[in-house]
Amino acid sequence: MPFIVQEVLLLLTLGAGIFLASVVEAKTGPAHDKVVVCYISTWAVYRPGQGAYAIDHFDPSLCTHVVYAFAGLDITQSAIKSLDPWQDLKEEYGKGGYERLTGLKRTHPHLKVSLAIGGWNEGSRNYSILVGDAQQRGRFVKQVSSFVRKYNFDGLDLDWEYPTQRDGRPQDRENFVSLTKELRDEFDNYGLLLTSAIGAAKNVIDQAYDVRQISRYLDFLHIMCYDYHGSWDRKVGYNAPLIADTLDPLSVQYSIDYLLKLGAPPSKLVLGLPFYGRTFKTPGNGVLGDATDGVGFKGPFTREDGFLGYNEICSILGNKTSGWFKQWDGQTSQVLAYSERNVFTGEVSVVTFDSARSIANKVKFAMMKRLAGVMVWSTDTDDFLGNCDLDNDVYADFKLVTAAPRRLNQNYPLLRTINEAITLSLEEIAADEVVTPDDAENEIPHGGVADRKNAGAFLNSTPLSISVLILFVSLMCERHRFVVNLLEL
Ligand SMILES: *[C@@H]1O[C@H](CO)[C@@H](O)[C@H](O)[C@H]1NC(C)=O
Ligand SMILES: *[C@@H]1O[C@H](CO)[C@@H](O)[C@H](O)[C@H]1NC(C)=O
């Protein structure tokens, strides 16, 4: 308590004219009003050693929404089902993962918890059958509604990858709209959230989604802005380039602009950020475009060819004797790291990934587009134990920030960057708007009225130094579960 009072006095002394209206014990989540959707790949609990991630590792103060991935589809019953009853449920001495995650709402009332159905391994075929039959859809809608309520979830996230693709059928596009509409009608009776993970490649968007229609029924569209390139290309490429060559449809910018053009409201779009990289092996020098073996390599925790979690990447690169080099690419906001040549195989290992700086730049992009917020795949590959050193170039591409805000905690560097970068980029955008009121961005009615009010309310008229101070103080107060509420300036 004395600590708080001291800080308050300090703030009052420094910021002449600021009235600290109240210090309330209220907010248990992020201090901004944007959406931060955190997926947990719950099979991460089976990873070895320091890679193992249980529900207990999750930090609910860093996300507004959390999604439990994945449940499956039992097509014989038209029903959602647990894919791992021992982890998910409590029966027969199970670990009760569903209720341990939804139970976090007791201490963190801001948190919304959804259950995701689908994922890559579930394929597409059975979902295609389900949506193609009105009766099966009807049964599913009723069953899934009672299932999510039974475990105290706030909603359902549809992760069908993807309608019309991978053994799907052309009718899936229309039938998926029917499914979202019928779920919406049912969910509205209980105030449940309905969201969907959406593929980001242009050809998938074109074939799989009636964007305008599904946008009517979904609360949020979680755009999977990653896997643009990987070992399957048989050449080195960036996993998730922010901006590619003008005509290249494989970039974050292209996906988001395209969805907006197709009629998705920015206030429902959530930009997906990868907490992982794509790996390659090449006889070349390890530069972009080098021919590769089509397989890549795996990490010690995630053990999947072609994939490395950020926690695995930062530990490899942080090891001074491991012989890796890294290069920042300003246009794509991607990092490419390559190893020394292996003397036995003659190959160079390469990983392309998002660093904290990449994440900060993408957050700023999402804020400039006035999107609802960002999503992460997935929390379990952030450096959740805080084993790596923090990057010092995180805000190198921000105009008004020269140093990263000091942090109390070293863990979850990427998630913490997201929350800081939301506040900092909204400030930067507000400052730009004051300087250039004619900016074309202003004339486009992006985003909800609430968004604009929340984002702009005090930031518009607040000098940067004061806002940074507020951020700093609220970070310090985090420990005490207090948030400083600044009402009027
Ligand atoms: C689809 O459903 C059938 C019948 O229940 C099941 O045998 C099959 O494994 C399912 N497909 C996938 C990819 O899960
Ligand atoms: C660092 O890399 C070297 C060479 O690959 C390896 O022998 C060593 O075990 C690594 N150290 C740590 C702490 O991982």
Query: How far apart are the CA of 126 and the centre of ligand 1, in A?
Result: 7
Listed by start position, the domains of the chain span: 1-29+457-489
Query: How far apart are the CA of 128 and the centre of ligand 1, in A?
Result: 12
Q: Is 161 a catalytic residue?
A: yes
Question: Does the CB atom of residue 122 touch ligand 1 within 6 A?
Answer: yes
Question: Does the CB atom of residue 123 touch ligand 1 within 6 A?
Answer: yes
The pLDDT value given to residue 67: 99
Compute φ and ψ for 149, nearest 5 degrees.
-70, -35
- The token duo for 322 is 């491991």
State the residue for tokens 């998705």. Answer: 264
Query: How far apart are the CA of 125 and the centre of ligand 1, in A?
Result: 8
Residues 47, 198, 264, 63, Cα dihedral to 10°: -10
Query: How far apart are the CA of 341 and the centre of ligand 2, in A?
Result: 16
CA–CA distance, 294 with 307 (Å, rounded to integer): 12
CA–CA distance, 318 with 329 (Å, rounded to integer): 19
Ligand 1 pocket test, pick from 73, 74, 75 with the greatest ligand atom count within 8 Å of Cβ, gives 75
CB distance 316 to 326 below 8 Å: no
The atom of ligand 2 lying closest to the CA of 320 is 1
The atom of ligand 1 lying closest to the CA of 76 is 5
Exposure of 400 by Cβ count < 10 A (0-12 exposed, 13-18 middle, 19+ buried)? middle
Ligand that lies nearest to the alpha carbon of residue 300, given by its number in the listed order: 2
Q: Choose, from 161, 347, 427, 428, the residue flagged as catalytic.
A: 161
Q: Residue 46's CB: how many other CB atoms inside 10 A?
A: 12
The pLDDT value given to residue 26: 64
CA–CA distance, 291 with 373 (Å, rounded to integer): 36
Q: Which residue, among 405, 474, 487, has the nearest Cα to 4 in the 3D structure? A: 474
The pLDDT value given to residue 317: 97
- The token duo for 117 is 């159905």
Question: Does the CB atom of residue 126 touch ligand 1 within 6 A?
Answer: yes
What is the residue-level pLDDT of the chain in tens, covering all 489 positions? 444 545 544 444 444 333 333 444 468 999 999 999 999 999 999 999 999 999 999 999 999 999 999 999 999 999 999 999 999 999 989 999 999 999 999 999 999 999 999 999 999 999 999 999 999 999 999 999 999 999 999 999 999 999 999 999 999 999 999 999 999 999 999 999 999 999 999 999 999 999 999 999 999 999 999 999 999 999 999 999 999 987 789 999 999 999 999 999 999 999 999 999 999 999 999 999 999 999 999 999 999 999 999 999 999 999 999 999 999 999 999 999 999 999 999 999 999 999 999 999 999 999 999 999 999 999 999 999 999 999 989 999 998 876 666 777 789 999 999 999 999 999 999 998 876 555 444 444 444 334 433 433 333 334 444 454 444 444 444 433 333 333 332
CA–CA distance, 33 with 457 (Å, rounded to integer): 11
Distance of CA 481 to the CA centre of its chain: 24
Round the CA-based radius of gyration of the chain to a whole number and report it. 23
Q: Which residue, among 182, 263, 164, has the nearest Cα to 215 in the 3D structure? A: 263
Residue partners of 13: CB distance under 8 A and separation at least 6: none
